[in-house]
Amino acid sequence: MTLRKTCQWLLIGMFMIMVVSGCGSQEQSQSGEMANIHSTTGKSRTMEGLQPDPAQKDSSSSNVKAALSKKGAAVSQEQRKVIYQADLNMKVVNLSKARKAMEAAAKKRGGYLVNASQSRSGKEVTGTLVFRIPQDSFQSFLNQIEDVAQEISSQNISGNDVTEEYVDLKSRLRAKKAVEKRLLEMMDEAKNTDDLLQVSQQLSVVQEEIEQIKGRIQYLENQTDYSTVTVHAVQYAALNDAEGKPGLWKQITLSFVQSLGWLRDLLEGALVVGAALVPPAMLLAALIIPVYLWYRRRKQSPPNTPGDRENSSM
């Protein structure tokens, strides 16, 4: 029994020694790894003076995501950025008067005319007008257009919600400005030309990105503050009268005006032809008049008789 207990205790002791030695080697390996990490970190810190802090970049990225999640949920309906566009096809009695009325309605609401074009094909006159209207006056302007039109053929209103993009750009702009500030500080701390050049290049890239983001933000703000209304108007001659013909008095007036137009054209044509014939007439006169005078003088002079010849010879 004593020998058996002794063997058992020996086995237990050997097992404990193995466990203790294993733990010790693991601790040594961990301590070695930590030492390597610290040594590597110590070397890398020598380059950190001229490089943006990676933790700052990570925190900026996380801040952007957090801002998007928070602001996306907190944006109210009034603060949302939506680009509204309207496209209308309409018929009018008088395109010129309709255009003046729509321009006046746009100006009254703080809007303006961006583009205008007009064309004619037979009795049909078409025009395209593009307006920029403040968003808060968008619907009232559409109502005013409906009053101007004789008939609305089609109307299409669309909206593009760019709130998420706008919030994202704002957050990115703040993050880029933070990086720009850090690079400016590093530029002041640079001790040699190489370091200064490296920081200057990074700063130039960041500032270019900032300008691009600002430009996109301004574009979205302009597009959301002002809505675009495109009007395609058609003036038909048939709209002047219920049967497609003008009234009797209008026909008489039109005939009289056309007669005056023909008379004017006839007089203008005669004047043009007369002016064109003046140079050749002057040339012919210069040639014919001397010949005519010579011939007339010759005809009026009396012929010489034989008696006259004898008297002249004596």
Residue closest to 120 by CA, chosen among 102, 144, 104, 96: 96
pLDDT at 130 over 90: yes
- Domains of the chain, with CATH numbers? 49-69+165-224 (no CATH), 82-163+227-239 (3.30.70)
Q: What is the pLDDT of residue 76?
A: 56
Q: What is the distance, to the nearest Å, from the Cα of residue 20 to the centroid of all Cα atoms in its chain?
A: 76
What is the band of 47 on the pLDDT scale with cuts at 50, 70, 90? very low
Residue 90 or residue 191, greater confidence: 90
Written as one string, the DSSP assignment of 87-156 is EEEEEES-HHHHHHHHHHHHHHTT-EEEEEEEEEETTEEEEEEEEEEEGGGHHHHHHHHHHH-SEEEEEE
pLDDT at 229 over 50: yes
Q: Note the pTM of the prediction, 2 decimals.
A: 0.49
Q: Beta strand pairing status for 124-134 and 226-235?
A: antiparallel
User: What mean pLDDT do residues 281-294 have?
Assistant: 85
Q: What is the pLDDT of residue 33?
A: 39
Q: What is the pLDDT of residue 77?
A: 55
User: What mean pLDDT do residues 222-240 have?
Assistant: 83
Q: What is the pLDDT of residue 160?
A: 92
Q: Lowest mean pLDDT: which of 19-33, 63-77, 86-100, 283-297?
A: 19-33
Q: What is the pLDDT of residue 58?
A: 47
User: What mean pLDDT do residues 37-61 have?
Assistant: 41
User: What mean pLDDT do residues 226-238 have?
Assistant: 86
DSSP, res 83: E
Q: What is the pLDDT of residue 192?
A: 86
d(CA 127, CA 97): 12
d(CA 169, CA 64): 9
d(CA 160, CA 83): 5
d(CA 127, CA 87): 13
Q: What is the pLDDT of residue 18?
A: 59
- pLDDT tens readout for residues 261-279: 888 888 888 888 888 888 8
